[in-house]
Structure 1
Amino acid sequence: MTTLNNESNQSFVTHTGSCHCKKVIFQVDAPKILEVQDCNCSICTKKGFLHLIVPNSRFRILQGKDDLSVYTFNTHVAKHYFCNTCGVSPFYIPRSNPDGWDINFRCIDPDTVESFTVVKFDGQNWESNAENLAHLSKS
């Protein structure tokens, strides 16, 4: 199995993020140095989503839960949340990790991120590659 995220040697900080209009605000506990995935599947390509997958215990919606709508397609396992006002999708529950959250790295405020690396993920062949992401939502 390919390891896409090396968090074992890093301590976590609390990152804050939001949608564009800031009606939806969230926090995620993750390292200062991040590795995010750039998926080439149909929806991620269109949205420009850069993925930071974390366990449920490391994600919190602080504001705007009632301002969110959800979009599903295909298997309907993934729950793609977006702001009702500005339309930005700051996070979703991914099919690869239904017990965790997938944060849109582009929605995280940059002041707590020291650096990041983008790793390509072949989502066009999701069935063959999803197991490479499964470990990311484990505590």
Structure 2
Amino acid sequence: MNKDIERINGQCHCGTVRFEVRLTDGLHSARRCNCSYCRMRGAVVVSAQLSDLTITAGEEALTLYQFNTGAAKHFFCSVCGIYTHHQRRSSPDQYGINAACLDGISPFDFEEVPVNDGVRHPLDNPERGNDGVVGTLKFIPGAS
């Protein structure tokens, strides 16, 4: 897998929502979160600046979900229900892009993915610093 991808297209499962994105640090920024919502969603996300995501089709089909502080904005397709991206609470100038929505990318392509501590969010605990990484998720091919 080429982690140095700069620009890539993506879409939801049904193809209603389509987008192109310039990734901040390619696929090197891949991570997960353990907050209540992300834990259930299970997505691997990569980073992009707000200005670097362009919805090319289906913007009207995007639905917004917010919870708790309401700071993060989670977007998903209202037709197929797939989460495509979210505006981050920790970095409001960035989107987290669902890596599984990127053309030719699977979350299982990543060997290791850092897990951010969304349960004890760094903004809620400033003494912990901004890192907030609590561990790493490792994908082991063929393991069951």
TM-score tier (shorter): 0.7 to 0.9
Aligned to 2:11: 18
Aligned to 1:64: 58
**Structure 2 unmatched runs, 5+:** 133-144
| Moved beyond 3 Å, runs of 4+ | none
**Pair 1:131-2:130 in alignment:** yes
Give TM-score, length-normalised by structure 1. 0.75
Over the residues paired in the alignment, what is the CA RMSD in angstroms? 2.3
Which one has a larger percent helix, Structure 1 or Structure 2? 1
Aligned to 1:102: 96
Which one has a bigger Cα radius of gyration? 2
Sequence identity of aligned pairs in percent?
A: 33
Alpha carbons 2:16, 2:77 under 8 Å: kept: yes
Deviation for aligned residue 1:58? 1.9
Give TM-score, length-normalised by structure 2. 0.73
Alpha carbons 1:78, 1:95 under 8 Å: kept: yes
**Structure 2 CA distance for partners of 1:79 and 1:130, relative to 1, 3 Å:** farther
**Structure 1 unmatched runs, 5+:** 1-6, 134-139
**Pair 1:55-2:49 in alignment:** yes
Deviations, residues 21-78 of structure 1 (Å, cap 9, x unaligned): 0100111112555331121111111111212122112211111110111011111111
The amino acid of 1:57's aligned partner reads: S
Aligned to 1:85: 79
